[in-house]
Amino acid sequence: MNKKNTNNNFKTDFPFFKNNPDLVYLDTAASSLKPQVVIDAIKEYYEQYCINPHSQDYQLAIKGNDIFEDTRKIISKFINSNENEIVFCPSATFAFNQIAYGLEKYLQENDEILLTNLEHSSLLLPFYRLIKTKKIKIKFFETNNQGVITIENLKKVLTPKTRIVAFANINNSLAIENNTEKLTNFIKDYGQKYLKNNDWVFKNILVIIDGTQSIAHTKTDVKKWNIDFFAFSGHKVFGPTGIGVFWGKNEWLNILEPLILGGGMNDCIETNGRFSLLASPTRFEGGTQNIAGVFGLGAAIKYLLSIGMENIKNHQISLKKYALQQLTKHLSNNIEIYSDNINSSNIIFNIKNVFAQDVANFLGTQNICVRSGTYCAKLLSNTLNTSATIRVSLYIYNCKKDIDLLVTALKKGINEGGDFLNEFF
């Protein structure tokens, strides 16, 4: 942990708070704030390098490429993978589109893909499109009342036609962590026993994990989990926007067709229309990458590691306990909380008889940043039985004072007539 932050005063590492001293930021699930070291790394690229790693004929380009590839090494160690399995891409959304596109040619009519109602649109829609192009079937399996995937519910939907199971190990709403290793082993055991289709090149059910929310909150171990694909966005883990990562087992990556074709990822191009692709990860990184973003992401992962995943988790648990105590103590007659598990970094709630967006907009007038709606998880209402909610998402730079200001603002909205609209009319 950084010595200057032994008292959890991490706000000093983030220029956002210096430039916005009156704001309470409770929207990390949408995007994390950026520490100075990440901003400095991006600035360093543009000021000292500003080169294309594809150029290798001069020393500055070679050095810049070394930093680029060092980030790949850092991430591979961070998630416990092989280095050549780490692919840079614009976002997790891009990654899931790439994965679905690459798998499309191997799917047959009536093959089944299993998802939950809590998944982000970025994971749902790339597979939804395959309903039209390949006439596959999408099936949903339930979570328990805390949003956790159970083996009992998986048993109800797995069939010999199941080809893919995809889910977030921590979703962006209720944010409860799934036991990915246990679930994957059960899925793989089922596939090994019942999968009889010799046309399926993967020979077992593929497990795809959305790590966009979990990457900054809990330890990732793709080898231990025994999964097949994993992806996350840099901006959720202190990094810049416009950079993401996807991982896949090397044997799978090298049989997937890339979504994007361009320079740097091909081995040869012939005049007869034939071309060949390089091996992973280069085959998926056509064109000039977001080099500054990779520099920033490398600094972000280093910063995260300097804090320690266990310290982050302990801080979140302590802060969420306090938040739940204060919300229930001061607003018990007016609030409905949907996520009271202390291991979650999110609090999902509504003020009774008030539309969620009205509350969120009111909080905005009080300099408190939260999110309302369904958080790009359009099927969330099927689980919560309400059309929209308010999300407070906590992270290492939040403190008890932030919670106190949130409670004070909510009490103000309730005491001024309870409709939270007085600030606007």
Question: Cα angle at 232 between 229 and 89, to 5 degrees?
Answer: 85
Residue 407 placed within a domain: yes
Residue 339 lies in a domain: yes
Per-residue pLDDT at 46 exceeds 50: yes
Q: Select from 274, 306, 338 the last residue of a domain.
A: 306
Q: Is residue 1 predicted with pLDDT exceeding 50?
A: no
Which pTM was predicted?
Answer: 0.94
Cα(349)–Cα(335) distance, integer angstroms: 7
Which of 306, 325, 342 delimits the end of a domain? 306
Enter the DSSP assignment of 257.
P
CA angle 282, 257, 283 (to 5 degrees): 5
| Catalytic site positions | 376
Residue 253 has pLDDT above 50, yes or no: yes
Residue 234, domain extent: 40-306
Task: Assess if residue 72 is contained within a domain.
Answer: yes
Q: Which of 252, 282, 306 corresponds to the end of one domain?
A: 306
Rg, the chain, Cα only:
23
Residue 424 has what pLDDT?
A: 63
On whether both 283 and 318 belong to a single domain, the answer is: no
Handedness of CA 371, 374, 34, 286 (dihedral sign): negative
pLDDT tens sequence across 66-99: 999 999 999 999 999 999 999 999 999 999 999 9
Total number of domains in the chain:
2
**pLDDT computed for residue 92 by the predictor:** 98
